[in-house]
Amino acid sequence: MTILLVEDHKPTRDEIRMLLEYQTDMRVIAETGSGEDALLLAQERQPDVVIMDILLPGMNGLEAIRRLHTGQPQTRILALSNHFGASLVQAVLDAGGLGYVRKSRAFEELIPALRTVADGKRHVDRRLLDGTP
């Protein structure tokens, strides 16, 4: 699966990319730190999955998810954020995202979440919906 990685904090982006590089069936084909650039790169590179941070400078991740889903509905989107709660998770799903992973749980949850989302299924940690940290 090909992946566009959208994360404005470069050290976090580097850690996620390194985690993904260990997967033989996953390849990061582009990365950026802005929602605007994410839309352009997604159009140009046509990734299978976009990992989208929610809090981005300029266009936030929710708006980028909404626009990406409208323009490229075949592209699967997995949100990634430090923030959580049922209303934020629901906003991501309503915008067209298929999944939500907390950054604090990325090393345990990101790979299985990516595979689930790539298959067109939803992935949300039940604890997020319950508001459990």
DSSP state of 85: -
How many whole angstroms separate alpha carbon 130 and alpha carbon 2?
A: 32
Cα 119 from chain centroid (whole Å): 14
| CATH superfamily to which 2-130 belongs | Response regulator (3.40.50.2300)
Tell me the domain boundaries of the chain.
2-130
Say how many residues make up the chain: 133
Distances (CA, A) of 116 to 1, 12, 43, 98: 12, 22, 22, 9
pLDDT, tens digit (0-9, with 9 covering 90-100), for 44-101: 999 999 999 999 999 999 999 999 999 999 999 999 998 877 888 999 999 999 999 9
Distance CA 105, CA 108 (A): 6
Averaged pLDDT for residues 30-46: 97
Q: 33 falls in which pLDDT band (50, 70, 90)?
A: very high
